[in-house]
Amino acid sequence: MSVSTRTPEAPTTPGTETGTPATGVAVPGTAAPPAGRAYTVGRAGDVPPGEGRAFVAGDVQVAVFRLRDGSLHATQAACPHAGGPLADGQTDADVLVCPLHLYAYRWSDGSSTGGAGPLQRYPVREVDGLLVVDV
Ligand code: FES
């Protein structure tokens, strides 16, 4: 599966946008980085250690993971191999494993250990208890 590119709509407030309507929480003062736009996708507690959750950032479906060391990672939600739900995958410190056919993707660069296409990764961070993803 190829990753489609998108042209985000202009934000209503420069540098600040909200993500999924499910939370509808704005992040005051969240500046969009030059490479993309910042979206609040949920609360930090929505993603427990060792797990992933699917969110929408603007019009991009993303999967956000919190590894057991507390670090956050965000990827495309659908597996590059055949669209599997990556948020349901298993993780360790080095890779994310898709639940459908068990292809593994390296956190370091998104490459597949099994020959599938690369995984699109997105910057993600916590801001005042909220998850912010740049797409
Ligand atoms: S859909 Fe993810 S490994 Fe096949």
pLDDT of residue 35: 61
Taking the C-alpha atoms of residue 107 and residue 56, their distance in angstroms, rounded to an integer, is: 20
Q: Hey, is 97 helix, strand or coil?
A: strand
Q: Hey, is 110 helix, strand or coil?
A: coil
Centre of ligand 1 from the C-alpha of residue 123, in Å: 22
pTM of the model: 0.77
pLDDT of residue 36: 82
Q: DSSP E strands: which ranges in 71-129?
A: 72-76, 90-91, 95-97, 104-106, 121-122, 124-127
pLDDT of residue 53: 98
Nearest CA to ligand 1 atom 3: 101
Centre of ligand 1 from the C-alpha of residue 74, in Å: 17
pLDDT of residue 25: 41
Q: Which residues of the chain have pLDDT under 50?
A: 1-18, 20-34
Q: Given the CA of residue 84, which atom of ligand 1 is nearest to it? A: 1
Q: Given the CA of residue 83, which atom of ligand 1 is nearest to it? A: 1
pLDDT of residue 104: 98
pLDDT of residue 130: 98
**Pocket (CB within 6 angstroms of ligand 1):** 79, 81-84, 98, 100-101, 103
CATH architecture of 38-134: 3-layer Sandwich (2.102)
